[in-house]
Amino acid sequence: MTATAPSATVVEESAESAPSRGLRPWLARHPLAAYAIRRFGLYLIELWGALTIAFFFFRLIPGDPIQTLIQTLQQNYVYNQQASTEVIARYQAEFGLDGNIFVQYLKYMQNLIFHGDLGPSLINYPTPAQDVILRSLPWTIGLLGMAAVISWVLGVLIGAIVGWRRGKLGSTIVTNLSIALSHVPFFFVALILVYVFAYTLGWLPARSAYDSTISPGFSLDFIGSVIKYGFLPAMSIVLIGTFSWILSTRS
d(C-alpha 194, C-alpha 187), whole Å: 10
Q: What is the DSSP string of 14-70?
A: HHHHS---SHHHHHHH-HHHHHHHHHHHHHHHHHHHHHHHHHHHHHHSSS-HHHHHH
Residue 235 DSSP SS3: helix
User: pLDDT band at 15, cuts 50/70/90?
Assistant: very low
Last residue of one domain, picked from the residues 127, 162, 177:
127
Last residue of one domain, picked from the residues 98, 127, 156:
127
Task: Say whether both 164 and 177 belong to one domain.
Answer: yes
User: What's the domain range around 72?
Assistant: 31-127
pLDDT computed for residue 19 by the predictor: 54
**CB-facing half-sphere around the CA of 102: CA atoms within 13 A:** 0
Angle at 127 between CA 122 and CA 133, to 5 degrees: 85
Q: How many structural domains compose the chain?
A: 2
For residue 132, pLDDT beyond 50 = yes
Task: Say whether both 136 and 244 belong to one domain.
Answer: yes
> Could you report the per-residue pLDDT of 166-209, keeping only the tens digit for each?
878 877 888 888 887 777 787 788 888 888 888 888 888 877 77
> Could you report the per-residue pLDDT of 221-241, keeping only the tens digit for each?
778 887 888 888 888 888 888
For residue 110, pLDDT beyond 80 = yes
Task: Say whether both 160 and 217 belong to one domain.
Answer: yes
Q: Is 0.75 topped by the overall pTM?
A: no
Last residue of one domain, picked from the residues 95, 127, 159:
127
